[in-house]
Amino acid sequence: MSEPAQPHILHADLDAFYASVEQRDDPQLRDRPVIVGAGVVLSASYQARACGVYTPMGVNKALQLCPDAVIVKPHFTAYSDASKQVFEIFEHTTPLVEGLSIDEAFLDVHGMELLSGSSTDIAAKLKREVRETVGLPITVGVARTKHLAKVASGVAKPDGLLVVPLGGELTFLHPLPVEHLWGVGPVTARKLHNHGIDRVGQIAALEEDALVAILGKAAAHHLHALANNRDPRPVHVGRRRRSIGSQHATGLSRLPSAPDELDVTIVGLVDRVTRRVRAARRVGRTVVLRMRFGDYTRATRSHTLAMATNETQTILSAIRALVTSTMPLIRREGLTMVGITVSNLENDDAFQLALPFGRRPPRAVDAIVDQVREKFGASALTRASQLGRDDGMSVPLLPEPLPD
């Protein structure tokens, strides 16, 4: 007798990823409330979340809620290594993997029943392999659509496995709070609650025009479809992101003591980002400077280059120009965070080389530096301005490049 059909889309999501890596690597942190970050909470263990700590809360407020929490500076090399190991397990599970971020992905296991068993069996095996091989907890949701698989993993956290049976999708989805729908943040949730809409089923029961009056056309169409489990999107393999960035949050309420110190931070961020862009075999045309000030307001400045590049010096020069143009605002308001992003990315196999050719081009220097760092470690070659600085404060605005 054949087994009943099962849904085939998995959403696998590592639990409190940064905090879990820290607890894995330091036995003294296990079973304790852990907060990863400096100035801003980047990740909180479930012990800290139980006290009301969440991302991106300020660390000072988090400590008021959870005085026993241990504050840990981020170690992005460890997170990147763990992510690569987990994605190797994903890709050994099925060739159809769509990475969403450094710690989550969709997997399509359709047609793998004879080889690997049911989707429930596959999900359970994946959880075991991640725990035994990488030492981290992971939650897996299984459903007929991508959205519902993601909802299922959210409901099952932490370290859970939840399968939404075929035919039972709406029975599972409709009693859930509206916050479980993909795209419902605090602002949208507040608008819905103000109209007495608290459950997903209430959204599904509304005429879409009535929802438009509350949320606007685009959001209403999106949420009405998800509330009725209409999500035809397939799992996309090898999707490439359009930007790569990094930021530095100092927790200071003022500009560093000298402009030179800010420039040192900028140089470190550009080095990190351009290295990632080249590792992903990409080039970008737009550079973006992001800032957060002492009063928690934010500002963004951008510049589009004449041609796409991944050269460190070219991007550094563009970012420095943006910083110079913004310096009066920085001096007046005080700076607590600076970030850079290279966007409008495209593949690096079809872009024009810059002139002149008469001397060793910056690309060749970048390539040599990258090769040394890849072979001997990221700290094998360091700019003089970066000596003695802790690079662990650099916070990715976007995840490390996922395996292609």
- Indicate if 320 and 338 belong to the same structural domain: yes
Phi-psi region of 99 (alpha: psi -120 to 50; beta: other; left: phi over 0): beta
- Indicate if 201 and 130 belong to the same structural domain: no
Nearest one of 316, 315, 241, 317 to 285, comparing CA atoms: 315
Q: How confident is the model at residue 338 (pLDDT cuts 50, 70, 90)?
A: confident
* Residue 32 belongs to a domain: yes
CATH number assigned to the domain comprising residue 348 = 3.30.1490.100
Q: Give pLDDT, residue 354.
A: 47
CA of 352: how far to CAs of 282, 283, 347, 377, in Å?
A: 13, 11, 12, 30
Structure confidence by residue, pLDDT tens digits, 141-155: 999 999 999 999 999
Domain count, the chain: 3
Q: How confident is the model at residue 369 (pLDDT cuts 50, 70, 90)?
A: low
Q: How confident is the model at residue 370 (pLDDT cuts 50, 70, 90)?
A: low
Would you say residue 44 has pLDDT above 60?
A: yes
Q: How confident is the model at residue 239 (pLDDT cuts 50, 70, 90)?
A: low
Structure confidence by residue, pLDDT tens digits, 386-402: 555 544 433 333 333 32
CATH number assigned to the domain comprising residue 105 = 3.30.70.270
Q: Give pLDDT, residue 95.
A: 87
Would you say residue 273 has pLDDT above 70?
A: yes
* Residue 238 belongs to a domain: no
CATH number assigned to the domain comprising residue 190 = 1.10.150.20
Q: List the domain range (segments joined by +) for residue 76.
A: 1-167
Residue with tokens 């080095």: 271
Lowest mean pLDDT among 88-92, 126-130, 199-203, 396-400: 396-400
Structure tokens at 320: 């420095």
- Indicate if 149 and 223 belong to the same structural domain: no
- Indicate if 6 and 147 belong to the same structural domain: yes
317-343 in b/e form (b: 16+ CB < 10 A) is ebbeebbeebeeebeebebbbbbbbbb
Mean pLDDT of all residues belonging to the chain? 84
- Indicate if 190 and 294 belong to the same structural domain: no
- Indicate if 188 and 258 belong to the same structural domain: no
Q: What is the mean pLDDT of residues 57-77?
A: 93
* Residue 335 belongs to a domain: yes
- Indicate if 140 and 70 belong to the same structural domain: yes
* Residue 270 belongs to a domain: yes
- Indicate if 200 and 255 belong to the same structural domain: no
Q: What is the mean pLDDT of residues 40-63?
A: 93
- Indicate if 283 and 372 belong to the same structural domain: yes
- Indicate if 139 and 278 belong to the same structural domain: no
Positions marked active-site = 104
